[in-house]
Structure 1
Amino acid sequence: MSSSKKPLKAELISQSCIALRMRLANRVITKIYDDALRPLKLRVPQLAMLAFAEERGLLRQSDICSQLQIDDSTLSRNLERMHSNGWLEEAIGEDARERPYQLTTKGKKLLHQAIPIWSEAQKKASELLGESGVATLQSFARQQGLSI
Protein backbone atom coordinates (compact mmCIF):
# COMPACT_ATOMS: atom_id res chain seq x y z
CA MET A 1 0.00 0.00 0.00
CA SER A 2 1.46 3.37 -0.93
CA SER A 3 1.75 6.20 1.55
CA SER A 4 -0.54 8.35 -0.60
CA LYS A 5 -3.48 6.07 0.32
CA LYS A 6 -3.12 6.49 4.10
CA PRO A 7 -3.97 10.21 4.27
CA LEU A 8 -7.01 9.59 2.09
CA LYS A 9 -8.37 7.04 4.60
CA ALA A 10 -7.66 9.32 7.55
CA GLU A 11 -9.24 12.18 5.64
CA LEU A 12 -12.32 10.04 5.07
CA ILE A 13 -12.70 9.54 8.82
CA SER A 14 -12.18 13.20 9.69
CA GLN A 15 -14.56 14.38 6.98
CA SER A 16 -17.37 11.85 7.15
CA CYS A 17 -17.36 9.93 10.46
CA ILE A 18 -20.93 9.91 11.77
CA ALA A 19 -19.83 9.32 15.38
CA LEU A 20 -17.49 12.32 15.26
CA ARG A 21 -20.15 14.54 13.70
CA MET A 22 -22.72 13.50 16.32
CA ARG A 23 -20.25 14.13 19.15
CA LEU A 24 -19.43 17.61 17.85
CA ALA A 25 -23.10 18.42 17.22
CA ASN A 26 -23.95 17.22 20.73
CA ARG A 27 -21.39 19.61 22.19
CA VAL A 28 -22.73 22.56 20.19
CA ILE A 29 -26.35 21.87 21.16
CA THR A 30 -25.55 21.07 24.81
CA LYS A 31 -23.59 24.32 25.10
CA ILE A 32 -26.71 26.28 24.10
CA TYR A 33 -28.66 24.75 26.99
CA ASP A 34 -25.81 24.83 29.52
CA ASP A 35 -25.07 28.50 28.75
CA ALA A 36 -28.74 29.37 29.18
CA LEU A 37 -29.06 27.41 32.44
CA ARG A 38 -25.77 28.65 33.94
CA PRO A 39 -27.41 31.50 35.95
CA LEU A 40 -29.37 28.80 37.80
CA LYS A 41 -26.17 26.77 38.36
CA LEU A 42 -27.85 23.95 36.45
CA ARG A 43 -26.68 21.74 33.59
CA VAL A 44 -28.64 19.72 31.03
CA PRO A 45 -28.27 16.29 32.74
CA GLN A 46 -29.38 17.77 36.06
CA LEU A 47 -32.38 19.44 34.42
CA ALA A 48 -33.31 16.10 32.85
CA MET A 49 -33.13 14.43 36.26
CA LEU A 50 -35.26 17.14 37.86
CA ALA A 51 -37.86 16.71 35.11
CA PHE A 52 -37.67 12.93 35.48
CA ALA A 53 -38.23 13.22 39.25
CA GLU A 54 -41.15 15.62 38.77
CA GLU A 55 -42.75 13.30 36.26
CA ARG A 56 -42.10 10.01 38.09
CA GLY A 57 -42.21 11.11 41.72
CA LEU A 58 -39.07 9.16 42.65
CA LEU A 59 -35.63 8.92 41.10
CA ARG A 60 -34.34 5.37 41.21
CA GLN A 61 -30.75 5.05 40.10
CA SER A 62 -31.41 2.03 37.88
CA ASP A 63 -34.28 3.84 36.11
CA ILE A 64 -32.22 6.97 35.53
CA CYS A 65 -29.24 5.06 34.15
CA SER A 66 -31.36 3.18 31.64
CA GLN A 67 -33.72 6.00 30.66
CA LEU A 68 -31.19 8.82 30.45
CA GLN A 69 -28.25 6.68 29.26
CA ILE A 70 -26.04 7.89 32.13
CA ASP A 71 -23.30 5.71 33.59
CA ASP A 72 -23.26 4.95 37.33
CA SER A 73 -20.34 7.21 38.26
CA THR A 74 -21.73 10.24 36.39
CA LEU A 75 -25.13 9.63 37.92
CA SER A 76 -23.69 9.34 41.43
CA ARG A 77 -21.80 12.63 41.05
CA ASN A 78 -24.90 14.41 39.75
CA LEU A 79 -27.17 12.99 42.45
CA GLU A 80 -24.71 13.90 45.19
CA ARG A 81 -24.36 17.45 43.85
CA MET A 82 -28.12 17.84 43.50
CA HIS A 83 -28.65 16.44 47.01
CA SER A 84 -26.04 18.79 48.53
CA ASN A 85 -27.66 21.74 46.69
CA GLY A 86 -30.95 20.84 48.34
CA TRP A 87 -32.73 20.00 45.08
CA LEU A 88 -33.23 16.32 45.94
CA GLU A 89 -33.74 14.40 49.14
CA GLU A 90 -33.53 10.72 49.90
CA ALA A 91 -36.89 8.98 49.90
CA ILE A 92 -38.10 5.66 51.21
CA GLY A 93 -38.14 3.06 48.47
CA GLU A 94 -39.94 -0.24 48.14
CA ASP A 95 -36.59 -2.03 48.24
CA ALA A 96 -34.34 -1.38 51.25
CA ARG A 97 -31.27 -1.78 49.01
CA GLU A 98 -32.34 1.20 46.92
CA ARG A 99 -31.66 4.84 47.67
CA PRO A 100 -34.32 6.67 45.67
CA TYR A 101 -34.51 10.44 45.61
CA GLN A 102 -37.40 12.85 45.29
CA LEU A 103 -37.62 16.54 44.51
CA THR A 104 -37.51 18.97 47.39
CA THR A 105 -39.51 22.19 47.40
CA LYS A 106 -36.29 23.94 46.38
CA GLY A 107 -35.84 21.45 43.51
CA LYS A 108 -39.40 22.00 42.29
CA LYS A 109 -38.91 25.76 42.40
CA LEU A 110 -35.67 25.44 40.45
CA LEU A 111 -37.32 23.24 37.83
CA HIS A 112 -40.13 25.76 37.35
CA GLN A 113 -37.59 28.60 37.07
CA ALA A 114 -35.66 26.57 34.49
CA ILE A 115 -38.61 25.78 32.21
CA PRO A 116 -38.83 29.18 30.43
CA ILE A 117 -35.03 29.29 30.14
CA TRP A 118 -35.04 25.76 28.71
CA SER A 119 -37.79 26.81 26.31
CA GLU A 120 -35.63 29.64 24.93
CA ALA A 121 -32.65 27.29 24.58
CA GLN A 122 -34.92 24.77 22.87
CA LYS A 123 -35.97 27.47 20.41
CA LYS A 124 -32.32 28.37 19.64
CA ALA A 125 -31.35 24.72 19.19
CA SER A 126 -34.36 24.15 16.93
CA GLU A 127 -33.44 27.15 14.81
CA LEU A 128 -29.87 25.91 14.53
CA LEU A 129 -30.92 22.38 13.53
CA GLY A 130 -33.74 23.49 11.28
CA GLU A 131 -37.14 21.90 10.97
CA SER A 132 -35.88 18.85 9.07
CA GLY A 133 -32.99 18.35 11.50
CA VAL A 134 -35.35 18.38 14.49
CA ALA A 135 -37.75 16.00 12.72
CA THR A 136 -34.90 13.62 11.89
CA LEU A 137 -33.65 13.70 15.47
CA GLN A 138 -37.15 13.10 16.88
CA SER A 139 -37.71 10.23 14.45
CA PHE A 140 -34.37 8.64 15.35
CA ALA A 141 -35.11 8.97 19.07
CA ARG A 142 -38.52 7.29 18.63
CA GLN A 143 -37.03 4.45 16.55
CA GLN A 144 -34.38 3.81 19.21
CA GLY A 145 -36.84 4.08 22.11
CA LEU A 146 -34.96 7.09 23.49
CA SER A 147 -37.50 8.88 25.62
CA ILE A 148 -38.03 9.50 29.28
Structure 2
Amino acid sequence: MERLEDCLSFVIGKAQQQVTKASREALAPFGVTPVQFAILKVLWERDGLNGAELCSRLVLDSATMAGLIDRMETGGWLERRADPGGDRRMSRVYLTEKGAQLEKSLNEAMDRVNAQFVKALGEERAASLWRGLEAIANLSIPERRSTPAVSAAAKATLTE
Protein backbone atom coordinates (compact mmCIF):
# COMPACT_ATOMS: atom_id res chain seq x y z
CA MET A 1 0.00 0.00 0.00
CA GLU A 2 1.26 3.44 -0.85
CA ARG A 3 -0.64 5.57 1.67
CA LEU A 4 -2.01 5.07 5.16
CA GLU A 5 -5.46 5.87 3.74
CA ASP A 6 -5.18 2.70 1.63
CA CYS A 7 -5.20 0.61 4.83
CA LEU A 8 -8.66 -0.78 5.58
CA SER A 9 -7.94 -0.82 9.31
CA PHE A 10 -7.12 2.89 9.28
CA VAL A 11 -10.19 3.89 7.26
CA ILE A 12 -12.56 1.76 9.35
CA GLY A 13 -10.98 3.16 12.51
CA LYS A 14 -11.50 6.75 11.35
CA ALA A 15 -15.11 6.01 10.40
CA GLN A 16 -15.64 4.33 13.79
CA GLN A 17 -14.34 7.46 15.52
CA GLN A 18 -16.90 9.60 13.70
CA VAL A 19 -19.80 7.26 14.51
CA THR A 20 -18.71 6.95 18.15
CA LYS A 21 -18.38 10.73 18.49
CA ALA A 22 -21.90 11.26 17.10
CA SER A 23 -23.24 8.51 19.39
CA ARG A 24 -21.56 9.99 22.47
CA GLU A 25 -23.01 13.40 21.69
CA ALA A 26 -26.51 11.98 21.17
CA LEU A 27 -26.41 9.96 24.40
CA ALA A 28 -24.64 12.56 26.58
CA PRO A 29 -27.84 14.36 27.66
CA PHE A 30 -28.94 11.08 29.26
CA GLY A 31 -25.58 10.41 30.96
CA VAL A 32 -25.14 7.18 28.97
CA THR A 33 -22.13 6.11 26.90
CA PRO A 34 -22.40 4.11 23.65
CA VAL A 35 -21.25 0.90 25.40
CA GLN A 36 -23.74 1.45 28.22
CA PHE A 37 -26.43 1.98 25.59
CA ALA A 38 -25.48 -1.39 24.07
CA ILE A 39 -25.91 -3.11 27.43
CA LEU A 40 -29.27 -1.44 28.00
CA LYS A 41 -30.37 -2.36 24.46
CA VAL A 42 -29.56 -6.04 25.05
CA LEU A 43 -31.42 -5.99 28.37
CA TRP A 44 -34.44 -4.28 26.79
CA GLU A 45 -34.54 -7.23 24.41
CA ARG A 46 -34.06 -9.83 27.17
CA ASP A 47 -33.83 -8.75 30.78
CA GLY A 48 -32.13 -10.92 33.38
CA LEU A 49 -29.03 -12.09 31.53
CA ASN A 50 -25.90 -13.04 33.41
CA GLY A 51 -22.54 -11.39 32.86
CA ALA A 52 -21.25 -14.16 30.59
CA GLU A 53 -24.31 -13.87 28.34
CA LEU A 54 -23.83 -10.10 28.09
CA CYS A 55 -20.11 -10.56 27.34
CA SER A 56 -20.90 -13.02 24.58
CA ARG A 57 -23.57 -10.87 22.97
CA LEU A 58 -21.50 -7.67 23.08
CA VAL A 59 -18.11 -9.33 22.49
CA LEU A 60 -16.58 -7.81 25.63
CA ASP A 61 -14.29 -9.41 28.21
CA SER A 62 -15.59 -10.17 31.69
CA ALA A 63 -13.44 -7.55 33.47
CA THR A 64 -14.73 -4.79 31.19
CA MET A 65 -18.31 -6.01 31.63
CA ALA A 66 -18.00 -6.17 35.42
CA GLY A 67 -16.80 -2.55 35.54
CA LEU A 68 -19.59 -1.41 33.23
CA ILE A 69 -22.24 -3.20 35.28
CA ASP A 70 -20.80 -1.70 38.49
CA ARG A 71 -21.00 1.84 37.07
CA MET A 72 -24.47 1.28 35.63
CA GLU A 73 -25.68 -0.15 38.93
CA THR A 74 -24.30 2.93 40.72
CA GLY A 75 -26.11 5.07 38.11
CA GLY A 76 -29.36 3.34 38.98
CA TRP A 77 -30.02 1.78 35.55
CA LEU A 78 -29.32 -1.84 36.49
CA GLU A 79 -29.33 -4.13 39.46
CA ARG A 80 -27.76 -7.50 40.14
CA ARG A 81 -29.92 -10.21 41.63
CA ALA A 82 -29.19 -13.75 42.70
CA ASP A 83 -29.76 -16.39 40.04
CA PRO A 84 -33.38 -17.56 40.38
CA GLY A 85 -32.22 -21.11 39.63
CA GLY A 86 -30.26 -21.12 42.87
CA ASP A 87 -26.74 -21.00 41.42
CA ARG A 88 -24.99 -18.93 44.11
CA ARG A 89 -21.93 -18.42 41.91
CA MET A 90 -23.90 -16.41 39.39
CA SER A 91 -25.99 -13.27 39.48
CA ARG A 92 -28.26 -11.91 36.82
CA VAL A 93 -28.52 -8.33 35.60
CA TYR A 94 -31.91 -6.65 35.50
CA LEU A 95 -33.09 -3.24 34.41
CA THR A 96 -34.36 -0.92 37.09
CA GLU A 97 -37.37 1.28 36.44
CA LYS A 98 -34.94 4.11 35.62
CA GLY A 99 -33.15 1.91 33.06
CA ALA A 100 -36.40 0.72 31.51
CA GLN A 101 -37.71 4.28 31.17
CA LEU A 102 -34.72 5.27 29.02
CA GLU A 103 -35.61 2.88 26.20
CA LYS A 104 -37.73 5.17 24.03
CA SER A 105 -35.51 8.25 24.41
CA LEU A 106 -32.24 6.42 23.81
CA ASN A 107 -33.59 4.47 20.85
CA GLU A 108 -34.81 7.73 19.30
CA ALA A 109 -31.41 9.35 19.89
CA MET A 110 -29.58 6.46 18.22
CA ASP A 111 -32.12 6.36 15.37
CA ARG A 112 -31.19 10.00 14.71
CA VAL A 113 -27.48 9.08 14.66
CA ASN A 114 -28.12 6.23 12.23
CA ALA A 115 -30.27 8.47 10.05
CA GLN A 116 -27.57 11.14 10.01
CA PHE A 117 -25.05 8.72 8.51
CA VAL A 118 -27.55 7.09 6.16
CA LYS A 119 -28.48 10.55 4.86
CA ALA A 120 -24.82 11.50 4.39
CA LEU A 121 -24.11 8.30 2.45
CA GLY A 122 -27.42 7.85 0.66
CA GLU A 123 -29.70 4.94 1.47
CA GLU A 124 -28.35 2.52 -1.15
CA ARG A 125 -24.72 3.15 -0.30
CA ALA A 126 -25.47 2.97 3.43
CA ALA A 127 -27.23 -0.39 3.01
CA SER A 128 -24.28 -1.74 1.02
CA LEU A 129 -21.80 -0.48 3.60
CA TRP A 130 -23.87 -2.00 6.41
CA ARG A 131 -23.86 -5.40 4.70
CA GLY A 132 -20.12 -5.18 4.13
CA LEU A 133 -19.36 -4.23 7.71
CA GLU A 134 -21.59 -7.00 9.02
CA ALA A 135 -19.81 -9.49 6.79
CA ILE A 136 -16.48 -8.38 8.25
CA ALA A 137 -17.85 -8.39 11.81
CA ASN A 138 -19.32 -11.87 11.38
CA LEU A 139 -16.19 -13.49 9.95
CA SER A 140 -15.25 -14.88 13.34
CA ILE A 141 -18.78 -15.11 14.75
CA PRO A 142 -20.68 -17.55 12.51
CA GLU A 143 -23.86 -17.65 14.64
CA ARG A 144 -24.53 -13.95 13.96
CA ARG A 145 -25.95 -13.75 10.47
CA SER A 146 -28.94 -11.42 10.72
CA THR A 147 -28.97 -8.08 8.94
CA PRO A 148 -30.66 -5.34 10.96
CA ALA A 149 -32.67 -3.01 8.84
CA VAL A 150 -32.63 0.72 9.22
CA SER A 151 -35.50 1.34 11.63
CA ALA A 152 -38.73 2.91 10.48
CA ALA A 153 -37.95 5.91 12.70
CA ALA A 154 -34.56 6.38 11.06
CA LYS A 155 -36.13 6.09 7.60
CA ALA A 156 -38.76 8.64 8.56
CA THR A 157 -36.03 11.04 9.66
CA LEU A 158 -34.46 10.67 6.22
CA THR A 159 -37.60 11.86 4.48
CA GLU A 160 -38.14 14.89 6.72
TM-score normalized with structure 1 length: 0.80
Superposition deviation, residue 25 in structure 1 = 0.8
**CA distance in structure 2 between the partners assigned to 1:103 and 1:109 by the alignment:** 9
Shift in Å at residue 146 of structure 1?
A: 6.4
* Alpha-carbon distance, 1:38 to partner: 0.5
Range moving further from structure 2, 47-56 or 114-123: 114-123
How far did residue 107 of structure 1 move?
Answer: 0.4
Q: List gaps (5 residues or longer) in structure 2.
A: 139-143, 149-160
* Cα offset, 1:99, TM superposition: 2.1
**Runs of 4+ in structure 1 displaced over 6 angstroms?**
none
Is 1:127 the counterpart of 2:119? The answer is: yes
Letter of the aligned partner of 2:40 in structure 1? L
Greater RCO structure (CA 8 Å; 6+ sep): 1
In structure 2, the partner of 1:65 is 55
Cα distance in 1 between the residues matched to 2:39 and 2:104: 13
Q: Is the 8 A contact 1:67 1:146 kept in 2?
A: no
* Consecutive unaligned residues in structure 1, runs of 5 or more: 1-8
Cα RMSD, aligned residues only: 2.2
Superimposed CA distance per residue, residues 55-92 of structure 1 (whole angstroms, 9 cap, x where no aligned partner): 11113211121211122232222111110011001123
Structure 1, 118-127 or 83-92: larger mean CA deviation: 118-127
User: Is 1:98 matched up with 2:100?
Assistant: no
1:84 aligns with 2:74: yes
**For the residues of structure 2 that align with 1:49 and 1:128, how far apart are their CA atoms?**
27
The 8 Å contact of residues 89 and 101 in structure 1, kept in 2 or not, is answered as yes
- Count how many residue pairs are aligned between Structure 1 and Structure 2: 138
**Which range moved further: 83-92 or 138-147?**
138-147
- Give the Cα separation in 2 of the matches to 1:66 and 1:39: 28
Cα distance change of structure 1 residues 60 and 40 upon mapping to structure 2, 3 Å threshold:
same
Task: Indicate the structure (1 or 2) with the bigger Cα radius of gyration.
Answer: 1
Comparing both structures, which one devotes a greater share of its residues to helix? Answer: 1
Name 1:117's counterpart in structure 2.
Answer: 109
